[in-house]
Amino acid sequence: MPSTASAEKPPQLIRAIGRFSFAALVVNCIIGSGIFGLPSVIAALVGRASVPAVLMAGAAMAIIIACFAEVASRFRDTGGPYLYVRSAFGRLLGIEVAWLVWFVRLTACAANVNLFAIYLAEFWRPATRPIPRFVILTALVGVLALTNFRGVRIGTRVNNVFTAAKLSALAFVCLIGSYFLISTHRLVPAAAAGLPPHGWPEAMVLLIFAYGGFEAALISTGEVRDPRRDTVFGLFAGLITCTIIYALVQWVVVGMLRDPGHSSRPLADVAGIVLGRAGASLVAVGALASIYGYLSGNMLATPRMTFALSEGGDFPHLFGAVHSRFHTPYVSIFIFALLVWIFAFFGSFAGNATLSAGARLFYYALVCAALPVLRRKEGSNGIPADAGFRLPAGTLFAALGVVICLAILTRVDFSNSLLLVSVIVLGYVNWLVVRKRTA
């Protein structure tokens, strides 16, 4: 006969995300709508040298991701950067990181929801009018929220399907572009001349941010089957996949377009050269799949942040509620979905670069710095005595990661950072309220 304690045990999250599904989640959290316009911006800054720039940014991000990989391999619970920083540096910084990660993902999702309506207008012009836009935004966010409410397995399947659709669309552009360049003997683009000397720093900043977003996938570690190994595989597999895609797309764009720096729709223009109007339409469909995949990945992962805060005693218990049948943090899911809908409907946050830039670099640097601290704390304060992955020369990589983040921070414009300051203040108030509370 079961004991009273076991009979009253509250429902728990289930581990249903395998290593390949986690890798797909990483890809979906990195590649959003930006890839359909960013190549022309990078080409305008560094011209034909933009392909090496993409690879250099990927190498820089590999240092940061390598630090994340070791740190993540020490933990099995939900929370991602919040959990890592809290364990290394204490409650205050952990809460600040949680607020920044959660709010960056919230505003990014809201911006992409708006972009979905804009891309849909390519096929149905009324999509951007008030009433149709209201219906589209509501259906888009509502379906994703309900899907993830009904179980992490369903949410993972949806994420996998749209990762495949996104990569297929991008692979299509890369294949037709590569065929064109090979058949016309234009494998190596001509070197650009007269580029501004400030182009390289700006291009590297934009590309580092293009590789960002992987940290959202780590929030859902509590539902990964073997988190101490699968997170490491997923991070590196996701980075390699995104680097290959970014480099091929950039090569095709600068090789095929006569003036790639002035194209507002570079991938559609590439497809249009080879296949005409039908090719451009296919790229628009690919953009819709990419945006929807990005949203599905974030809807799966980001609500787990408020769940983790609740588990750590840093948020109201309501956010930690798990559905008895579907084993999902349903309150956190629906609150996140509601806020995404509100932010998307009442404004566009795509231009809020300061929040995204400053916040990401702040918690990237903290997680890199946490690597040597967690090594010193091994076997105490609930930190395992060994990591699932140990980075060779880890202290050196951690220092390099911090230097990279600080160097990029010097290029960020903080003149309009009121929203960023507001989020930091909210995090501090959160800490004041809970600082004496136990988990």
In three state form, how does the secondary structure of 142-197 look? Answer: HHHHHHHHCCHHHHHHHHHHHHHHHHHHHHHHHHHHHHHHHHCCCCCCCCCCCCCC
| pLDDT tens figures, 401-433 | 999 999 888 877 766 677 788 899 999 999 999
Average pLDDT over the chain reads 86
Q: Is the pLDDT of residue 379 over 80?
A: no
Over residues 263-282, the mean pLDDT reads: 82
Report the distance separating Cα 28 and Cα 296, nearest Å. 8
Over residues 219-244, the mean pLDDT reads: 94
Q: Is the pLDDT of residue 437 over 60?
A: yes
How high is the pLDDT of residue 125? 84
pLDDT confidence band for 6 (50 / 70 / 90): very low
112 vs 33, more confident: 112
**Strand, coil or helix: 17:** strand
- Which of the residue ranges 43-47, 370-374, 428-432 would you say has the lowest mean pLDDT? 43-47
Q: Is the pLDDT of residue 96 over 60?
A: yes
pTM: 0.90
Token readout for 23 is: 């890798």
How high is the pLDDT of residue 11? 83
Over residues 116-143, the mean pLDDT reads: 88
Question: What share of the chain has pLDDT > 90, as a percent?
Answer: 49
Name the residue with tokens 């581990």: 15
Cβ-based neighbour number of residue 370 at 10 Å: 26
Fold category of 16-434 in CATH: Amino acid/polyamine transporter I (1.20.1740)
Domain positions in the chain: 16-434
Over residues 298-325, the mean pLDDT reads: 93
Cβ-based neighbour number of residue 327 at 10 Å: 17
